């Protein structure tokens, strides 16, 4: 069992500006956690999509990690419509609420996040998206719906439905999967085949011995330090390549 690491980047890291923000959406304000380097300048931006437990501390930490790597990262609370992640007392309550979200509403709120980022003075004109678990599926789905994306990353998420919608993806795709993930792995080869058929650029890696949610350093049963480190390096380099002005 891996060691639990509560935070990889401290919430008060002095090199970062990290704060909760709100921006307008089709169904009211959307809450999000925004982290970026204090050094300023124009930055590539990354939309971070949470797991099925909502915008928890771990996902805020993930946003700060991207900020430490030189990006502006916006972790969107996709439970904003029913009142926000903070209202749920247990992970099980948040999971149940995630299960009730309409696909169309999630897509709308992510489009609103893109519109918000475009108005920020740090925006360099390039946007990427990354999602984990439930968010991984949302990341890949959103890439089929948003022409503004310059990069899309999926961590062990489900494929878009229908799969041939990947023909609409406007950007290169990076995938990180755990071999010991029986619910997700059956979709990996079909995804690769569909992306190849549509002529899309992609880089998909499967990590032997890694389970679903292997990147989550707060989950001792799932965290796989070696796979997480390598997948992070791949993801950060992918964004640096595709989100530089």
Question: pLDDT tens for residues 63-88?
Answer: 999 999 999 999 999 999 999 999 99
pLDDT of 245 = 73
Residue 40, exposed/middle/buried by CB under 10 A (0-12, 13-18, 19+)? exposed
- Residue 7 is assigned to a structural domain of this protein: no
pLDDT at 126 over 80: yes
Residue 130 has pLDDT above 80, yes or no: yes
Which CATH number goes with the domain that contains 201?
3.40.50.1820
For the stretch 157-168, pLDDT in tens is: 999 999 999 999
198 counts as catalytic: no
Q: What is the mean pLDDT of the chain?
A: 97
43 falls within a domain? yes
Q: What is the pLDDT of residue 205?
A: 98
Question: Which residue, chain included where needed, has tokens 């999926």?
Answer: 154
Question: What pLDDT, in 10s, does the model give residues 21-59?
Answer: 999 999 999 999 999 999 989 999 999 999 999 999 999
pLDDT value at residue 96 = 98
Active site residue 77: no
133 belongs to the catalytic site: yes
Q: In what order do the strands lie in the sheet with 123-132?
A: 16-25, 28-37, 72-76, 43-49, 123-132, 151-155, 173-180, 202-211
> pLDDT-derived band of residue 141, with 50, 70 and 90 as boundaries?
very high
Candidates 50, 69, 181, 224; catalytic one = 181
* In-domain check, residue 87: yes
What's the domain range around 77? 16-243
Q: What is the pLDDT of residue 40?
A: 81
Residue 134 belongs to a domain: yes
User: What's the pLDDT band for 2 if we cut at 50, 70, 90?
Assistant: confident
Q: What is the pLDDT of residue 193?
A: 98
pLDDT value at residue 32:
98
* HSE-CB for 118 with a 13 A CA cutoff: 8
For residue 178, pLDDT over 90 is answered with yes
1 or 73, which is more confident? Answer: 73
pLDDT per residue as tens digits for the range 216-245: 999 999 999 999 999 999 999 999 999 997
Q: Tell me if 6 is assigned to some domain.
A: no
Q: Which of 50, 58, 212, 224 is catalytic?
A: 212
Residue 68 lies in a domain: yes
226 belongs to a structural domain: yes
pLDDT at position 114 is 98
Catalytic residue among 50, 58, 69, 133: 133
pLDDT reported for residue 3: 83
pLDDT score of 47 = 99
Residue 4 has pLDDT above 90, yes or no: no
Inside any domain, residue 139: yes
State pLDDT tens for residues 78-119: 999 999 999 999 999 999 999 999 999 999 999 999 999 999
Tally the domains of the chain: 1
SS (H, E, C) the chain: CCCCCCCCCCCCCCCEEEEEEEEEECCEEEEEEEEEECCCCCEEEEEEECCCCCCCHHHHHHHHHHHHCCCEEEEECCCCCCCCHHHCCCHHHHHHHHHCCCHHHHHHHHHHHHHHHHCCCCEEEEEEEEEECHHHHHHHHHHCCCCCCCEEEEECCCCCCCHHHHHHCCCCEEEEEEEECCCCHHHHHHHHHHHHHCCCCEEEEEEEEEECCCCCCCCCCCCCHHHHHHHHHHHHHHHHHHHCC
């Amino acid at each position: 069992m891996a060691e639990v690491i509560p935070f990889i980047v401290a919430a008060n890291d002095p090199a970062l500006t990290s704060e909760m923000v709100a921006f307008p959406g089709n169904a009211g304000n959307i809450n999000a956690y925004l982290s970026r380097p204090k050094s300023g300048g124009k930055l590539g931006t990354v939309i971070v999509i949470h797991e099925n437990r909502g915008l928890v501390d771990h996902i805020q930490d993930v946003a700060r990690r991207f900020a430490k790597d030189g990006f502006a990262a916006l972790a969107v609370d996709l439970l904003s419509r029913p009142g926000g992640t903070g209202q749920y007392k247990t992970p099980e309550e948040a999971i149940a609420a995630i299960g009730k979200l309409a696909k169309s509403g999630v897509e709308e709120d992510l489009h609103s996040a893109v519109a918000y980022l475009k108005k920020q003075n740090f925006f360099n004109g390039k946007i990427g998206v990354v999602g984990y678990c439930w968010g991984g599926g949302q990341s890949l789905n959103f890439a089929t719906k948003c022409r503004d994306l310059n990069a899309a990353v999926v961590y062990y998420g489900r494929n878009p439905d229908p799969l041939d919608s990947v023909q609409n993806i406007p950007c290169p795709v990076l995938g990180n999967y755990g071999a010991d993930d029986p619910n997700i792995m059956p979709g990996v080869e079909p995804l690769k085949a569909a992306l190849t058929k549509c002529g899309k650029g992609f880089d998909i890696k499967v990590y032997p011995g890694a389970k679903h949610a292997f990147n989550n350093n707060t989950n001792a049963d799932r965290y796989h330090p070696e796979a997480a480190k390598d997948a992070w390096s791949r993801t950060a380099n992918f964004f640096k390549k595709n989100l530089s002005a």
